[in-house]
Structure 1
Amino acid sequence: MATPNGTTRQEIREALAPIIGVPVEQIGDDVNLVRLGLKSLHLMQLINGWRRSGIAVKFGDLAATPTVDAWALHLADRVAAAAEPR
């Protein structure tokens, strides 16, 4: 599933890898990112980047399910919601 603004699974892994110090290929879609070393400050860095690119995402939504798979689905929903006419 390709989505804009760095929200594909691969783009999420590529954004995470340098922040948590884990090689991209070791970040699985369903791996708990907290167990890989994700901290709340790291998550805020990622969220701020997505917000700057126009994606309205909340800390609690991503923290509740810290996996690449869940984040990709959530971010895709947020992108779709932003594209809907009001």
Structure 2
Amino acid sequence: MSALTLERMRADVAGMLGEVPEDIGDDDNLMDLGLDSMRVLGLVLAWGNTGIALEFSHLAEHATLGGWWGVVQRLQARAAAGA
């Protein structure tokens, strides 16, 4: 399993929205861009396959890619410390 990166997250979000990754800013409100809860759930499932204990509730607390990346970094650090 490879670590989840900000670049992959941006590309996956952009793919869900039919946009190019460069159009998704760290501070853009993803819900305003058209991301809905079903798409977020799909992302959680895909990203969970990278070995972190990511849950929908973790992302639901944030509306930006930057916020999500902060959550992922904390989960990756926690997973590394427990390994």
2:23 is the counterpart of 1:26: yes
Give, in whole Å, the separation in 2 of the partners of 1:53 and 1:25: 23
1:54 equivalent in structure 2: 51
SS of match in other structure, 1:5: coil
TM-score, structure 2 as length reference: 0.87
**Percent of pairs with identical residues:** 34
Runs of 4+ in 1 over 3 A off after TM superposition: none
1:7 equivalent in structure 2: 5
In structure 1, which of residues 33, 41, 46 is the aligned counterpart of residue 38 of structure 2? 41
Instruction: Please list every run of 5 or more consecutive structure 2 residues that lacks an aligned counterpart in the other structure.
Output: none
1:1-52 deviation line (CA, Å, top 9, x unaligned): xxx52332x2211111111112212111001100001011111111111211
The code of the aligned residue for 2:42 comes to Q
Instruction: Please list every run of 5 or more consecutive structure 1 residues that lacks an aligned counterpart in the other structure.
Output: none
Give, in whole Å, the separation in 2 of the partners of 1:64 and 1:33: 12
**How many aligned residue pairs are there?**
82
Give, in whole Å, the separation in 2 of the partners of 1:61 and 1:85: 19
Cα offset, 1:75, TM superposition: 0.1
2:80 is the counterpart of 1:83: yes
